[in-house]
Amino acid sequence: MSKQPNLELIYFNLRALAEPPQMMMHYAGIKYRYERALGIIMESLGLR
């Protein structure tokens, strides 16, 4: 039995472009972590 990889869906806040991959992963039962790029950038700059 193969182990499922840890996936991260990271995107910029643009025109709901993350919706199709998010829906496909949900439909396929694939677990993933969802993060917006702005949060990652703010965290790396120490603003969060």
If pLDDT is split at 50, 70 and 90, which confidence band does 1 have?
A: low
Read off φ and ψ for residue 6, nearest 5 degrees: -80, 115
pLDDT at 33: 86
pLDDT in tens, 2-47: 676 688 888 877 777 788 888 999 999 989 888 878 877 788 888 8
CA distance 29 to 10: 18
Give domain limits for the chain. Answer: 7-44
Q: What is the pLDDT of residue 37?
A: 81
First to last CA, the chain: 40
